[in-house]
Amino acid sequence: MKRYEDLSPSQRCIMTPGPVEVDPRVLRAMSFPVLGQFDPEFTSIMNETMEMLRELFATSNSWAYPIDGTSRSGIEAVMVSLILPGERVLIPIFGRFGHLLHEIAERCGAEVFVLEKPWGSVFEPDEVIAAMETFKPHVVAMVHGETSTGRVQPLAEIGRACRRMDTLFIVDAVATIGGIPVETDAWMLDAVVGGTQKCLSIPSGMAPITYNDRAEAKLMTRKRVERGIRASDVQPGDLSFVRSNYFDLGMLQDYWSPQRLNHHTEMTSMLYALREGLRLTLEEGLDARFARHILHEKALVAGLTAMGLELYGDPSCKLTVVTCVLIPEGIDGEAVRSLLLGRFGIEIASSFGPLKGRIWRIGTMGFSCRENNVLRLLGALEAALQRHGFKGPCGFGVQAALDVYEAKVR
Amino acid sequence: MKRYEDLSPSQRCIMTPGPVEVDPRVLRAMSFPVLGQFDPEFTSIMNETMEMLRELFATSNSWAYPIDGTSRSGIEAVMVSLILPGERVLIPIFGRFGHLLHEIAERCGAEVFVLEKPWGSVFEPDEVIAAMETFKPHVVAMVHGETSTGRVQPLAEIGRACRRMDTLFIVDAVATIGGIPVETDAWMLDAVVGGTQKCLSIPSGMAPITYNDRAEAKLMTRKRVERGIRASDVQPGDLSFVRSNYFDLGMLQDYWSPQRLNHHTEMTSMLYALREGLRLTLEEGLDARFARHILHEKALVAGLTAMGLELYGDPSCKLTVVTCVLIPEGIDGEAVRSLLLGRFGIEIASSFGPLKGRIWRIGTMGFSCRENNVLRLLGALEAALQRHGFKGPCGFGVQAALDVYEAKVR
């Protein structure tokens, strides 16, 4: 019999746009013994988590709970539940994850209308609103923070327009939730999907979502109770049902309601992690947390610039929590990344599609977003660049970041 | 600001058909720091996990990996990927989870043919084979161990018939994997779904699956690469694509292959748990593990019978790992369960549909399946029954179980 070694993952400094490092208190929470899914102690943890999620999403929505899967499971759950086959869906795309929304909408059987913006920029709200007037979509689905390009899309005006035109507005806030403001109610977002493994610094495995009464009303038109636990039979001609059982929000909300109608077996340990991560986030305070992300971004950007590196993309819509850096001429980006990971234990990200080989993406998210990580990365990146023949100025990167931190203390 | 308490779940004795108690070594594994999803250390953990899963499923299939979700996510992934809309699917149902297969097949757009067996029994293979001859299904989907009734369905003959008739055979082995034999190759199962939170004693959150070349060949006819990362455009008329992005096995296997084509962000901590749980399972040895489950079932059944309780269902197809007990006349089953949980910290399960209020379901699964748990439960159950006016013999239950254990030692 083959013997497998004890698990012993290395301690990494993870400066990617996710998954990022996890606070040891969150890791510890997962090591607590499990409870049964209908144990009153467990259902009260479920209820508390919903309460914390409402605060996180800045909403008074009734419904705020996690989907049991990775971030894209949350996106798929919201889309497959809120988009009927044949409905018109408008998707303004400004990076890789907009294409994912397109992909999922198409699989939902929607008639998809796409707007595309060159990577590195975002939409003027008016461009989106004009397209809404043309295509009269039932749903608009959009990414808030694009990690592929490091850009952030303003949403409030589009939200207002959607409300006015009675269009549902679905937002992918996977990369932004807990790192920059996501104002569900104020911006009139009808359904929002967050991610755990980015600014919340919880391991990948759950996707917190929230949706309002408008979204719920649409769910109710497609509602059905599962075979094997439902009382009466379904009308045979009714084809409006959601094409997924696992992602049917109408059933999931019954499971998250006091009714506790049996559906899946909630992921106990992941829910412990989510609750603990939310607790730490709310304890820090959302505003303080957003300010922390801004501070470390500032130090990082100062350091990179002082090293002679150039940032990618339109600075007016830069996403605080992801910094995209042009790989200098003549430097092999992947060789630098390998050296950073292999020798220094530091991970930064490569990129997708048209940006492949052109930029690195550096995350400053959640628990990874801290002074010693930023300083460590800048020092190591400079050394790795030199090692690969980069002829930039030497020794300035870390100093520039220290200047930012010391100015802040003063 | 509201302050949330430290997480501190009680230590329960969980004797349900899942989720069950988790070995502290598995809990500890989840507290290790996370790695990036493309970190070579992490991808080698992914590969090792695949290797262990092949051993668990008793298969030489190339594909054996977890779906990132709870058990039913694995079922849905296999069904939505292997069933084309309009295909004929035969589902022999002998309990609640057969209805779930029906539900999911229907949502996949299949033409579903159902056979139903009274709860408490299972099918003669010939009954299923005769129905296959009548309905000529593309796919047969069936539960191996029904936790709702505590029955196990023999599969080998049906597997042979499916192979002969060129029908795909999908099996839900969520409740049985790691607790009783599941012989993927020998029984000619084309796709099998396991569960983590039952006999493997890993927290709910992943669904290990395996499928063979026959299944893969069908996936290949529907294959498509995701928008945003694919090179060329898809044929506009092609409607065979899988209706889910998250559950598209064709894409998932590219992510689990050396190609590592980007899809979701693998659940780091859950994968640590899965790897550790599999390691412990294989270290114990599958045969020794199955024997352990038989021993504790024997002790439990001896104890329950000696207490004057009656078992539910056809004994010839009893599932080792779930024991269904008739609630004695005049006893309020839920009151007994509440007393057990509230005072003794022991959880047993209620039941579904036609069995609601008629039986309790007691699990002896994975880490929960051990001598001190069985003895503790028997003692507490007797006390709880007495407390509620049950007039059975007194003091015999624990003694009968001890007899079994001591005979085993001798």
Distance CA B235, CA A58 (A): 43
Tell me: pLDDT of A236 over 60: no
Tell me: pLDDT of A237 over 60: no
Q: What percent of chain A lies above the pLDDT cut of 70?
A: 97
What are the boundaries of each domain within chain A?
23-281, 286-409
Question: CA gyration radius for chain B?
Answer: 22
- DSSP string for residues in B159-179: HHHHHHTT-EEEEEETTTTTT
Within 8 A of B22 by CB-CB distance, chain A residues are: 33-34, 269
pLDDT score at A321? 98
pLDDT score at A231? 63
Tell me: pLDDT of A48 over 60: yes
Question: CA gyration radius for chain A?
Answer: 22
Q: Is the pTM of this model over 0.90?
A: yes
pLDDT score at B225? 78
Distance CA A346, CA A328 (A): 19
Please give the sequence-ordered ranges of beta strands (E in DSSP) within B78-217, or none if there are none: 88-93, 111-116, 139-143, 145-146, 151-152, 168-173, 191-194, 207-211
pLDDT tens string A312-324: 999 999 999 999 9
At the topology level, CATH places domain B23-281 in: Aspartate Aminotransferase; domain 2 (3.40.640)
pLDDT score at B239? 65
Are residues A73 and B103, on separate chains, in Cβ contact within 8 Å? no
Are residues A266 and B39, on separate chains, in Cβ contact within 8 Å? no
The shortest CB-CB distance from B35 to any of A12, A32, A100 is to A12
- The torsion angle over the Cα atoms of residues B338, A33, B49 and B368, rounded to 10 degrees, is -50
Q: Which CATH class is domain B286-409?
A: alpha beta
pLDDT score at A226? 78
- The torsion angle over the Cα atoms of residues A209, A213, A218 and A223, rounded to 10 degrees, is 80
Residue B298 or residue A1, greater confidence = B298
**Average pLDDT of the residues of chain A:** 95
What's the DSSP call for residue B93?
Answer: E
pLDDT score at B238? 63
The shortest CB-CB distance from A41 to any of B10, B245, B352 is to B10
**Mean pLDDT, residues A273-280:** 98
Alpha carbon of A88: minimum distance to chain B alpha carbons (Å): 17
Are residues A275 and B99, on separate chains, in Cβ contact within 8 Å? no
**Mean pLDDT, residues A33-58:** 97
Distance CA A326, CA A200 (A): 27
Residue position matching structure tokens 């539900």: B103
Within 8 A of A236 by CB-CB distance, chain B residues are: none
What is the sign of the dihedral through the CA atoms of A249, B244, A239 and B353?
negative
Q: To which H or E segment does residue B119 belong?
A: none
Are residues A205 and B10, on separate chains, in Cβ contact within 8 Å? no
Are residues B32 and A8, on separate chains, in Cβ contact within 8 Å? yes
What's the DSSP call for residue B349?
Answer: B
Blockwise average pLDDT, block size 10, chain B, 410 residues: 87 98 97 96 97 98 98 98 97 97 96 97 98 98 98 98 98 98 98 98 98 97 79 61 95 95 94 98 98 98 98 98 97 98 98 95 98 98 96 94 87
Q: Which ipTM score applies to this complex?
A: 0.96
Q: What percent of chain A lies above the pLDDT cut of 90?
A: 92
pLDDT tens string A325-371: 999 999 999 999 999 999 999 999 999 999 999 999 999 999 999 99
3-state DSSP assignment of residue B320: coil
Within 8 A of A31 by CB-CB distance, chain B residues are: 27-28, 30-31
pLDDT tens string A80-122: 999 999 999 999 999 999 999 999 999 999 999 999 999 999 9
**Mean pLDDT, residues A369-387:** 98
Tokens for A133, please give them: 């007037």
pLDDT tens string B313-329: 999 999 999 999 999 99
| Local confidence band at A223 (pLDDT 50, 70, 90 cut-offs) | confident
Distance CA A50, CA A64 (A): 5
